[in-house]
Amino acid sequence: MQLLVLSILSVLLLFADYRFQQMAQVRSVLGSMTAPIQFVADVPSKVWRWVDRMSTDYEQLHKENRELKAQAIILQREVQKMASLSAEYIRLRELLNGSELIDETVMVAEVIGVDPDPFTHELLINKGYRDRVRVGQTLLDAYGVMGQVISTDRFSSRVLLLSDARHAIPVQVNRNGLRSIAAGKGRFDELELLNLHDTEDVVVGDLLVSSGLGGRFPFGYPVAVVTKVEHDPGEPFAEVLARPSAQLARSRQVMLVLSPQPETQQAADAEETD
């Protein structure tokens, strides 16, 4: 009897969660309640990193410091060029009556959890709707796009990674602007480009950047590098694989893009509950 009642209750919940948007709020409340568990679960890796930090010796720090300084100078030089380039870009956009922003504001966040299910690629980050995180915002690391926020609660948010089998992102080839969609395959090191004809100009080594189409991801961030192009005469489309630029399985320091994106209904809903 109890089995029947609880099973039916579970199935109803499953159905409600699958079909109705309102369940996001229930989930968000429950998520805030389980936040302490997530926090405690993260303690061992925090302690490990602390021990790691404490035990690096002077020599190593000195070496790292030197390398970082060298890297900073190189990056500074690129930024110098950026300033004039972006000014020029804005002038040209103005000539064309474009109103595209060239730079977005970002917020630094930290990964505090990885989905325990090996078949879903999701992360938990330590910023929630209290920190203006909204569903649909883009997550970056130092090397490229990582994924997008799919749910938020008060103190943390859940991010779906590019590599998840349920995820796809509109991209374009940086070299020639060829548009495609990069879909996840459930592997951290592989994305698949969908619907590219055999005759399209894409070669191994091409950089794919986010195209901004679809209004969810900002334009121009690196997404992946093409690793394999295969033409099978029997197939209507070429098989093109790419390796994500972002370190999906390793990055800990990440950035959230905060600039005004076209708001989804859910984001607006979250606004009201604040």
Partner 1 sequence: MRRRSGGGVIFLSLLVALILSALPLPEVAQGWRPEWVVLVLLYWIVALPERIGMGVAWLMGIMLDVLEGSLLGLNALALTVVAYFSLLLYRRVRMFSWLQQALFVFALVALNQILCHWVKGILGSSTQTLMFLLPAIISALLWPWVFVLLRGVRRSFNVN
The footprint of partner 1 (CB under 8 A) covers 2-3, 6-7, 9-14, 16-18, 23, 26-27, 30-31, 33-34, 37-38, 40-42, 44-45, 113-120, 122, 124, 151, 158, 165-166, 186, 188, 249
User: Minimum CB separation from partner 1 for residue 242, in Å?
Assistant: 19
Burial class (CB in 10 A: 0-12, 13-18, 19+), 180: buried
User: Minimum CB separation from partner 1 for residue 12, in Å?
Assistant: 7
User: Minimum CB separation from partner 1 for residue 126, in Å?
Assistant: 13
Q: What residue has token string 């093109």?
A: 240
Nearest CB to partner 1, comparing residues 10 and 253: 10
Q: Which amino acid is at 219?
A: F
State the alpha helices, DSSP H only, in 55-159: 58-95
Identify the DSSP state of 227.
Answer: E
Nearest CB to partner 1, comparing residues 42 and 200: 42
Distances from the Cα of 193 to the Cα of 47, 119, 154, 185, 198, angstroms: 40, 20, 35, 10, 12
DSSP 247-267: -TTT--EEEEE-S-PPPPHHH
CB contact burial 149-167 (16+ within 10 A = b; e otherwise): bbbbbebbbbbbbbbbeeb
User: Minimum CB separation from partner 1 for residue 36, in Å?
Assistant: 9
User: Minimum CB separation from partner 1 for residue 122, in Å?
Assistant: 6
